[in-house]
Amino acid sequence: MGIVKTVIVMAGVICMLSAPAQADATNPVWRVYFSPQGGCTEAIEAELIGARSNIHVQAYSFTSEPIAKALLEAHKRGVVVKVILDKSQRTANYSSADFLAHAGIMTLVDDQHAIAHNKVMIIDDATVITGSFNFTKAAEFNNAENLLIIRDRTLTGQYQKNWELHAGHSHLYEGR
């Protein structure tokens, strides 16, 4: 199987992306994005729009209105959406925690760690979104961050087990 190589310019930075041409059992497909202004938010939105059955989120900081709205739209389409947030999101001035909880999306708070610093989305048991990219406007427009989208069911299963471990000790957030 060949490797697809793509050269793109994002915010004046040349990036080389390499990934297997097609996904199969031995060759997962992945894409990488870099901020600032590298299309991370739009890539996440596109994945959420394509979700068909479930989305599980772990987030340290979550203030991105476009991502929150994409999760709500998935929820309205019947996709099961569940979110785990760091305890700081309970009292943050700007957080999507209240928006999600009041929209009927199961929102949990992980307060069992000094910081629940994960930035993960698991979509349809087949795709993992991860990296340093916080789900925030600042991450998209101001910070130097990375986002990796991986289609690999084996890896997705490992992330799902970790998500369930954290959900097991998290507490329901009903909003303020």
pLDDT in tens, 25-77: 556 699 999 999 899 999 999 999 999 999 999 999 889 999 999 999 999 99
Average pLDDT, the chain: 86
The band of 8, judged by pLDDT with boundaries at 50, 70 and 90, is very low
Q: What is the pTM of this model?
A: 0.83
Report whether pLDDT(98) > 70. Answer: yes
Return d(Cα 116, Cα 132) in angstroms, integer. 13
Here the tokens at position 80 are: 């099961």
pLDDT at res. 127: 97
Mean pLDDT computed over 19-27: 52
Mean pLDDT computed over 93-106: 87
Domain residue extents for the chain? 29-172
Give whole-number Cα distances, 89 to 3, 15, 53, in Å. Answer: 41, 33, 26
Q: Which residue has the higher pLDDT, 156 or 97?
A: 156
> What does the pLDDT look like over 125-135, one tens digit per residue?
999 999 999 99
Q: Is residue 148 a contact partner of residue 162, using CB atoms and an 8 Å limit?
A: no
Report whether pLDDT(154) > 70. Answer: yes
* The three-state (H, E, C) secondary structure of the chain, written as one string: CCEEEEEEEECCEEEEEEEECCCCCCCCEEEEEEECCCCHHHHHHHHHHHCCCEEEEEECCECCHHHHHHHHHHHHCCCEEEEEEEHHHHCCCCCCHHHHHHCCCEEEEECCCCCCCCEEEEECCCEEEECCCCECHHHHHCCCEEEEEEECHHHHHHHHHHHHHHHHHCEECCCC
pLDDT at res. 6: 47
pLDDT at res. 88: 83
Here the tokens at position 76 are: 């309205």
- CATH placement of domain 29-172: 3.30.870.10
Mean pLDDT computed over 115-127: 96
- Residues labelled as active-site residues: 117, 119, 124
Q: What's the sign of the alpha-carbon dihedral 89, 124, 73, 37?
A: positive
Here the tokens at position 67 are: 């991502």
